[in-house]
């Protein structure tokens, strides 16, 4: 592998000049720049990341802590991961995977060994055990998800409360007076993942202001649980029943339960699921969805870390961003009745 010294030699300049051509941190004459760039081309020189990191104290790597619990909707997690990795490249950074099972020590490891310049944590719980550690890490950390106490932390997430409101408003506008909301899986609820509560709060708020009734029911992927929830919902409803299934994993089971009871979404029942535009395409039926904007959340998370990295802010930072959500109508919900 050629080094910058080889390039310097080939171009007839000093090694430091090569470095300045690459970094642009000092003015270089057009003539010299050309000589150096030609030499780089010819030798197919690429700077050594280790040496660069050692000298500059920047690795240009961001650690991404990913969850893998089957109860989460993996397709959507993957969308986060993928967009985060692509976006990081736009900022000339790379992504290092850290699995959630490494826990807090894992964070200390990658930061302590200076493998990463910053971190992004996914699936942050209400009282995440890693939070105290995060607060004391001297590198930028962005949380995807809002913990119970976000003080001293930088957080971003979809606006789940808005999402809840939008779903209820939408169904109310279509004439539904009783709306059933399937909860996330027990495993998720029990972790006090804050978005569950925010979503539910949104549905309640909208229900109150619109004078409709919202019924919360157990969700998940267990067939019997869902069947039970559906039966309860049907019992509570006089008109056309409506369901909101914000948890991606519950959608298939719900659809199945409805269809086995002879109910067709968009005809004798309304269903709003959750999916990004990308994933909605793959649904077995044209599902009306609430888009929780995983791609946008991912992009912003990366931007925030990179901005913090650049501003080199060592002081404690704190911020909270909520990304607006949006409903997309497909044929699984009733149209608003103009007469209503």
Question: Which residues, other chains included, contact 220 with Cβ-Cβ below 8 Å and sequence gap of 6+?
Answer: 71, 183, 184, 185, 186, 226, 247, 249, 250, 253
Q: Say how far apart CA 234 and CA 229 lie, in whole Å.
A: 9
Q: How far are the Cα atoms of 87, 98, 174, 195, 319 from residue 104, in angstroms, in the given order? A: 25, 11, 47, 22, 22
User: Which of 276, 264, 282 lies closest to 327 in space, CA to CA?
Assistant: 276
| Number of residues this chain uses to bind a copy of itself (CB under 8 A) | 60
Query: In this structure, what is the dihedral angle of CA atoms 299, 276, 63, 188, given to the nearest 10 degrees?
Result: 140
Residue 66 and residue 98 in contact, taking contact as beta carbons nearer than 8 Å: yes
Q: Any contact of residue 314 with DNA (CB under 7 A)?
A: no
Q: Judged by CB, which is closer to DNA: 105, or 112?
A: 112
Q: Which of 32, 114, 177, 331 binds a copy of itself (CB under 8 A)?
A: 114
| Size of the chain, expressed as the number of residues it contains | 340
* Minimal distance, residue 275 CB to DNA, in Å: 43
CB under 8 A: which stretch of 7-15, 17-25, 27-35, 103-111 binds a copy of itself? 103-111
Provide the strand spans (E) within the chain: 61-66, 94-99, 118-121, 141-144, 154-158, 178-182, 213-217, 242-244, 270-274, 288-291, 319-323, 326-328
Q: Say how far apart CA 329 and CA 166 lie, in whole Å.
A: 12
Q: Please report, as residue ranges, which positions from 25 to 84 form the binding site for DNA (by CB under 7 A).
A: 25-29, 31-33, 45, 47-48, 51-52, 54-56
Q: Judged by CB, which is closer to a copy of itself: 205, or 329?
A: 329
Residue 141 and residue 153 in contact, taking contact as beta carbons nearer than 8 Å: yes
Q: Judged by CB, which is closer to DNA: 49, or 78?
A: 49
* Minimal distance, residue 337 CB to a copy of itself, in Å: 27
Q: Which of a copy of itself, DNA, none interacts with 79 (beta carbon under 5 to 8 A by kind)?
A: a copy of itself
Q: Which of 7, 13, 98, 334 binds a copy of itself (CB under 8 A)?
A: 98
Summarize as ranges the residues that interact with a copy of itself (CB under 8 A): 1, 44, 46-54, 59, 61, 64, 66, 68, 70-71, 73-75, 77-79, 81-82, 85-86, 89, 94-99, 101-102, 108-110, 112-115, 221, 223, 249, 252-253, 255-256, 259-260, 278-279, 281-285
Summarize as ranges the residues that interact with DNA (CB under 7 A): 1, 3-5, 12-17, 19-20, 22-23, 25-29, 31-33, 45, 47-48, 51-52, 54-56
């Amino acid at each position: 592998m050629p080094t910058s010294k080889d390039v310097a030699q080939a171009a007839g300049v000093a090694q430091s000049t090569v470095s300045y051509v690459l970094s642009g941190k000092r003015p270089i004459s057009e003539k010299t720049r050309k000589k150096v760039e030609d030499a780089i081309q010819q030798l197919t020189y690429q700077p050594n990341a280790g040496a660069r990191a050692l000298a500059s104290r920047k690795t240009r790597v961001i650690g991404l802590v990913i969850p893998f619990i089957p109860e989460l909707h993996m397709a959507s997690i993957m969308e986060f991961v993928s967009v985060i990795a692509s976006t990081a490249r736009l900022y000339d950074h790379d992504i290092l995977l850290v699995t959630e099972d490494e826990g807090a020590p894992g964070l200390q490891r990658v930061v302590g060994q200076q493998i990463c310049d910053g971190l992004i944590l996914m699936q942050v719980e209400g009282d995440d055990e890693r939070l105290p550690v995060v607060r004391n890490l001297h590198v930028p950390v962005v949380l995807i998800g809002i913990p119970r106490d976000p003080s001293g932390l930088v957080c971003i997430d979809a606006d789940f409360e808005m999402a809840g409101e939008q779903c209820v408003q939408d169904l109310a506008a279509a004439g539904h007076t009783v709306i059933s909301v399937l909860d996330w899986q027990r495993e998720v609820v029990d972790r006090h993942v804050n978005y569950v509560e925010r979503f539910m709060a949104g549905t309640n708020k909208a229900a109150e202001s619109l004078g409709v009734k919202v019924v919360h029911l157990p969700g998940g992927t267990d067939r019997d649980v869902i069947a039970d929830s559906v039966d309860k919902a049907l019992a509570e409803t006089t008109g056309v029943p409506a369901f909101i299934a914000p948890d991606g994993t519950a959608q298939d089971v719900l659809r199945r339960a409805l269809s086995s009871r002879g109910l067709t979404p968009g005809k004798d029942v309304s269903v709003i699921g959750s999916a990004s535009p990308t994933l909605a395409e793959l649904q077995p039926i044209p599902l009306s969805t609430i888009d929780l904007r995983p791609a946008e959340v991912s992009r912003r998370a990366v931007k925030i870390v990179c901005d913090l990295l650049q501003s080199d802010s060592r002081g404690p930072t704190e911020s909270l961003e909520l990304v607006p959500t949006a409903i997309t109508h497909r044929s699984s919900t009733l149209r608003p009745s103009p007469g209503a």
